[in-house]
């Protein structure tokens, strides 16, 4: 999962770095032209455009580096969140499976009270981010079925 997040979030940085040789080539050619040409309006126009391109490129690289640093800071937190959400999903799936196995509430008041008590135990376990083991669930279900 880590590599998936990293690859997706680093796409912009790779794109910028891919264009750096092109940028360097344009700057080199524009600088060579400015050095070889005499004074005039065309030279001033190209010089102004070159300054603008340099400023924009520097700003783009600065923002890209800032974003890269932010991503590196957030990535471990995103990975931790993903791992924890998987753990919670597993617990909820187990609880849903076990609770879903009760097809109906017993007409016997004592058995219904016991079923309610078992559900409360499950709920408290979920609130403490733990759940009664599957083995314990099976024992409780077997006892309830026997009472019916």
Rg (CA), the chain: 33
Residues 9-33 pLDDT 10s: 566 778 888 889 999 999 999 999 8
Higher pLDDT, 97 or 61: 61
The CA distance from 66 to 129, in Å, is: 37
Tokens 């079925």 sit on residue = 145
Residues 6+ apart with CB under 8 A from 9: 71, 75
Cβ atoms within 10 Å, residue 74: 13
The pLDDT of residue 3 is: 55
Residues 115-145 pLDDT 10s: 788 888 777 776 665 544 556 656 666 666 6
Could you tell me which of 47, 50, 61, 51 has the C-alpha nearest to residue 19? 61
What average pLDDT does this structure show over 85-114? 70
Q: Is the dihedral of CA 138, 139, 144, 146 positive or negative?
A: positive
Cβ–Cβ under 8 Å, residues 70 and 10: no
Residues 6+ apart with CB under 8 A from 118: 140, 144
Q: Is the dihedral of CA 24, 11, 55, 63 positive or negative?
A: negative
Cβ–Cβ under 8 Å, residues 94 and 131: yes
pTM above 0.75, yes or no: no
Structure tokens at 41: 């309006």
Cβ–Cβ under 8 Å, residues 112 and 106: yes
């Amino acid at each position: 999962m880590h590599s998936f997040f990293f690859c997706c979030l680093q796409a912009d940085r790779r794109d910028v770095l891919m264009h750096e040789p092109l940028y360097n080539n344009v700057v080199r050619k524009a600088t060579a032209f400015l050095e070889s040409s005499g004074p005039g309006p065309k030279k001033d126009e190209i010089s102004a455009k070159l300054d603008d391109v340099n400023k924009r490129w520097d700003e783009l690289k600065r923002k890209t580096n800032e974003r890269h640093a932010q991503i590196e800071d957030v990535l471990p937190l995103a990975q931790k969140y993903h791992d924890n959400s998987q753990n919670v999903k597993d617990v909820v799936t187990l609880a849903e499976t076990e609770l879903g196995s009760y097809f109906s509430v017993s007409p016997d008041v004592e058995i219904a009270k016991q079923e309610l008590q078992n559900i409360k135990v499950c709920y408290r376990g979920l609130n403490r981010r733990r759940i009664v083991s599957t083995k314990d669930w099976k024992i409780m279900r077997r006892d309830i079925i026997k009472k019916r």
